[in-house]
């Protein structure tokens, strides 16, 4: 029999329904895998007791025939989602001991669906990073290694713990959040699937805020169907988030067919970057060919402001972050550092100096700068206008195509420590993911192949607002054609 | 655009961040590079373009003016670094 941890989430659900194994057995198998994989540093907080209690409740519900759609499924939660009574750190020293007295909208839905949370997953501090190296709890190590090498690689970021845990078979699926690519880029780096839905699909209530006009939650899992099932459980209107959409949640898990006959797939010429690796270019072309073979029509499209998207993002996101992170002042929750005989203002400054890491400080400073008197119009307002042009590019493109196909990230996973000293080189990781974030569009990364070093590469599908189904179907078609079955060879643990 | 160390100190005061001298120098260098990198936006024609702050237009809705929760004092104070008499405690601000 296949190890329980190797099953897809959908297969786990079927097995539980048939009684092939109990939720307790399933969760226990994952807890053992987590214990053996501490070298990956994927978790900040493990919650085995709560997971087993949820498993027992799921077994009882299954026996009564009243099980929710995710009953007994072991999930990891990015440590940016508030979980009632369970430490929520945002991977920052400033929240190192924060225990939320309430549950986030998304995790409340997953709990109600019966999921068993095995722990809180590591991330870049406040989700600011593309390699999971800015975490105050140490970097996550990717379960993947280049062929013939023992050098540690990054899992991508900011949802690096989520990506590593799913790829290493420590969880069936995980929550991620995506502000500029934080679900899609780590999914691509670790050979898994991840979807950022339309902005507003998932409630932001109880998610530690980074850049509120961009932040969106989504699932990460090993198959497209698993993501569809998770997204269905996570999405839905929440009156506690003023930007939450009042739209019905389609039954994506039922509707997913992978049928893309007659759909027009746009390939944006501006995404063919100078210096793009031949492997990535070849994979992108293969992806287009797979979709054509599946009955889609490939059309050449133009997104003229593609190259302006990253600079726009790196004005808007830090501006929103500097405002959102003003709340960490040592008064109501989180770290407090009180200099001797200091004033209230001294306490603010000392608390924030001790509590925030270098990347968070960098973004707070940049954001404060672009919002400050004399610079607001030149930077912030200008970026908001360019954002309008980027959105218009997509609207125009969707006049001639239904979905857009691009690579997910410009490279495969890089070495731990390889880019930390150069912020702009790190920011360039998000060149393909940021435009869809700025436009609020649903976008998904699906694993499509391996590079010559044996490392995963992903393709991204972008859809119209609310067309998660189109995105999922195209991703399913790619998944089917690519036949991606690679998994990281286990080097961690005692085995 | 080059950012000097004095500007970094001023921004740090606005952001309530205490910075060491080495941090000031590093941030001046990094901020200069990042701002030079975003200069490309200055070349984009945006005359007559309305700035965007919300991607999915959504009407604001009225809600009933009703009390929906309350009595949460203990939960609110549970994570307080310091508390006194049912309030958050801070250093004295008025002499």
Residues of chain B in contact with residue A338, where contact means CB-CB under 8 angstroms, are 91
Domain positions in chain A are: 4-257+445-456+465-482
Mean pLDDT of A465-486: 97
Q: What is the pLDDT of residue A276?
A: 87
Which residue is closest to A383 within chain B, CA to CA? B41
Q: What is the pLDDT of residue A364?
A: 98
Which residue is closest to B23 within chain A, CA to CA? A358
Mean pLDDT of A208-229: 98
Flag if A369 and B53 touch (Cβ within 8 Å).
no
B/e letters for A101-132, b = 16+ CB within 10 Å, e = fewer, are eebbbbbbbbbebbbbbbbbbbbbbbbbbbbb
Told to judge if A130 belongs to the known catalytic residues of this protein, a careful annotator would answer no
What does the DSSP assignment read for A159-188?
SHHHHHHHHTTSSSEEEEEESSSTTHHHHH
Q: What is the pLDDT of residue B6?
A: 96
Range in A103-107, A201-205, B59-63, B72-76 the model is least confident about: B59-63
Residue B94 in this model has a pLDDT that exceeds 80: no
Whether the complex's predicted ipTM is more than 0.85 is answered with: yes
Residue A273 in this model has a pLDDT that exceeds 90: no
Smallest CA–CA distance, residue A389 to chain B, in Å, is 8
Specify whether the CB–CB gap between A43 and A164 falls below 8 A: no
Flag if B17 and A356 touch (Cβ within 8 Å).
yes
Summarised one tens digit per residue, pLDDT across range A377-397 is 999 999 999 999 999 999 999
Dist CA A62 CA A194 (whole Å): 28
Residues of chain A in contact with residue B93, where contact means CB-CB under 8 angstroms, are 343-344
From A130, A135, A182, A408, the catalytic residue? A182
Summarised one tens digit per residue, pLDDT across range A136-183 is 999 999 999 999 999 999 999 999 999 999 999 999 999 999 999 999
C-alpha atoms less than 13 angstroms from C-alpha of B86 in its C-beta half-sphere? 4
Q: What is the pLDDT of residue B42?
A: 93
Flag if B34 and A356 touch (Cβ within 8 Å).
no
Smallest CA–CA distance, residue A117 to chain B, in Å, is 23
Angle CA A175–A37–A411, to nearest 5: 60
Mean pLDDT of A342-371: 96
Flag if A388 and B52 touch (Cβ within 8 Å).
yes
Strands A456-463 and A443-450: antiparallel
Mean pLDDT of A345-350: 96
- A2 band by pLDDT with thresholds 50, 70 and 90: low
Mean pLDDT of B18-29: 95
Residue A1 in this model has a pLDDT that exceeds 60: no
Mean pLDDT of A223-235: 98
Mean pLDDT of A366-376: 95
Return the closest-CA partner of residue A111 out of A149, A58, A148, A153. A58
> Which residues, in sequence order, are bridge partners of residue A117?
A75
Told to judge if A8 belongs to the known catalytic residues of this protein, a careful annotator would answer no
- How many A-B residue pairs are in contact by the CB < 8 A criterion? 158
Superfamily per CATH, domain A4-257+445-456+465-482 = Amidase signature (AS) domain (3.90.1300.10)
Q: What is the pLDDT of residue B2?
A: 84
Q: pLDDT averaged over chain B?
A: 92
Minimal Cβ distance to A386: which of B8, B11, B44: B44
Residue ranges in A125-243 assigned as alpha helix (H): 160-167, 184-190, 224-234
Return the closest-CA partner of residue A220 out of A181, A255, A259, A248. A181
Which residue is closest to A100 within chain B, CA to CA? B79
Chosen from B32, B44, B47, B89 to mutate, greatest number of chain A CBs within 10 A: B44
Smallest CA–CA distance, residue A453 to chain B, in Å, is 32
Smallest CA–CA distance, residue B36 to chain A, in Å, is 10
Which residue is closest to A84 within chain B, CA to CA? B75
Q: Which residue has the higher pLDDT, A315 or A424?
A: A315
Told to judge if A78 belongs to the known catalytic residues of this protein, a careful annotator would answer yes
**Cβ neighbours, 10 Å, residue A321:** 24
Which residue is closest to A329 within chain B, CA to CA? B16
Q: What is the pLDDT of residue A495?
A: 52
- B1 band by pLDDT with thresholds 50, 70 and 90: low
Mean pLDDT of A223-239: 97
Flag if A391 and B55 touch (Cβ within 8 Å).
yes
Residue A274 in this model has a pLDDT that exceeds 60: yes
From A158, A253, A322, A437, the catalytic residue? A158
Return the closest-CA partner of residue A179 out of A458, A436, A475, A364. A436
Residues of chain B in contact with residue A381, where contact means CB-CB under 8 angstroms, are 51
Angle of helix A306-324 relative to helix A358-371, nearest 10 degrees, comes to 100
What domains can you pick out in chain B, each with its CATH number?
Answer: 5-43 (1.10.20)
Smallest CA–CA distance, residue B21 to chain A, in Å, is 13
Dist CA A467 CA A338 (whole Å): 50
Residues of chain B in contact with residue A305, where contact means CB-CB under 8 angstroms, are 44
Q: pLDDT averaged over chain A?
A: 96
Q: What is the pLDDT of residue B95?
A: 67
Mean pLDDT of B11-34: 95
Summarised one tens digit per residue, pLDDT across range A65-92 is 999 999 999 999 999 999 999 999 999 9
Residues of chain B in contact with residue A197, where contact means CB-CB under 8 angstroms, are none
Minimal Cβ distance to B41: which of A352, A372, A386: A386
């Amino acid at each position: 029999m296949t190890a329980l941890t190797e099953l897809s989430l959908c297969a786990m659900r079927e097995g539980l329904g048939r009684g092939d194994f109990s939720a307790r057995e399933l969760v226990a198998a994952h807890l053992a895998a987590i214990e053996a994989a501490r070298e990956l540093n994927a978790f900040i907080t493990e919650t085995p007791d709560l997971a087993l209690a949820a498993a027992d409740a799921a077994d009882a519900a299954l026996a009564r025939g009243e099980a929710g759609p995710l009953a007994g499924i072991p999930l990891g939660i990015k440590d940016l989602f508030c979980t009632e009574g369970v430490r929520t750190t945002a991977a920052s020293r400033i929240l190192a001991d924060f225990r939320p007295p309430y549950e986030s909208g998304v995790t409340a839905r997953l709990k109600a669906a019966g999921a068993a949370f095995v722990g809180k997953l590591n991330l870049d501090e406040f989700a600011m990073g593309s390699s999971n190296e800015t975490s105050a709890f140490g970097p996550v190590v990717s379960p993947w290694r280049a062929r013939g090498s023992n050098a540690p690689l990054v899992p991508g970021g900011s949802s690096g713990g989520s990506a590593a845990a799913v790829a290493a078979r420590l969880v069936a699926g995980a929550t991620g959040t995506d502000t500029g690519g934080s679900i899609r880029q780590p999914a691509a780096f670790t050979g898994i699937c991840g979807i950022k839905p339309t902005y507003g699909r998932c409630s932001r209530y109880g998610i530690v805020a980074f850049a509120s006009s961009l932040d969106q939650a989504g699932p990460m899992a090993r198959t497209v169907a698993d993501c569809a099932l998770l997204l269905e459980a996570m999405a839905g209107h929440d009156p506690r988030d003023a930007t939450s959409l009042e739209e019905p949640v389609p039954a994506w898990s039922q509707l997913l067919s992978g049928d893309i006959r007659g759909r027009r797939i746009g390939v944006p010429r501006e995404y063919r970057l100078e210096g793009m690796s031949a492997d990535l270019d070849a994979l992108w072309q293969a992806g287009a060919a797979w979709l054509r073979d599946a009955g889609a029509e490939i059309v050449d499209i133009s997104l003229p402001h593609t190259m302006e998207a990253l600079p726009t993002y790196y004005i808007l996101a830090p501006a929103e972050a500097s405002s959102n992170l003003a709340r960490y002042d040592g008064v109501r929750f989180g770290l407090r550092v009180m200099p001797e005989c200091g004033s209230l203002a001294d306490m603010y400054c000392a608390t924030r100096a001790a509590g925030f890491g270098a990347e968070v400080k960098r973004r707070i400073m940049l954001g404060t700068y672009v919002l400050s008197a004399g610079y607001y119009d030149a930077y912030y307002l200008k970026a908001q206008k360019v954002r309008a042009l980027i959105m218009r590019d997509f609207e125009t493109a969707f006049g001639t195509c239904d979905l857009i196909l691009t690579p997910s990230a410009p490279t495969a996973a890089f070495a731990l420590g390889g880019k930390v000293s150069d912020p702009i080189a790190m920011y360039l990781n998000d060149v393909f993911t940021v435009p869809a974030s700025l436009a609020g569009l649903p976008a998904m990364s699906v694993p499509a192949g391996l590079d010559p070093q044996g490392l995963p590469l992903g393709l991204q599908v972008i859809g119209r607002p609310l067309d998660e189904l189109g995105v999922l179907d195209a991703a399913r078609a790619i998944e089917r054609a690519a036949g991606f079955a690679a998994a990281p060879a286990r080097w961690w643990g005692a085995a | 655009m080059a950012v000097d160390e004095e500007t970094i100190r001023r921004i740090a005061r606005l952001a309530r961040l205490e910075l060491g001298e080495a941090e000031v120098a590093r941030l001046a260098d990094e901020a200069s590079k990042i701002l030079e990198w975003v200069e490309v936006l200055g070349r984009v024609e945006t005359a007559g373009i309305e700035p965007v702050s919300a991607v999915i237009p959504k009407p604001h809705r009225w809600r009933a003016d009703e009390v929906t929760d309350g009595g949460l004092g203990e939960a609110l104070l549970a994570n307080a670094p310091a508390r006194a008499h049912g309030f958050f405690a801070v250093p004295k601000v008025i002499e």
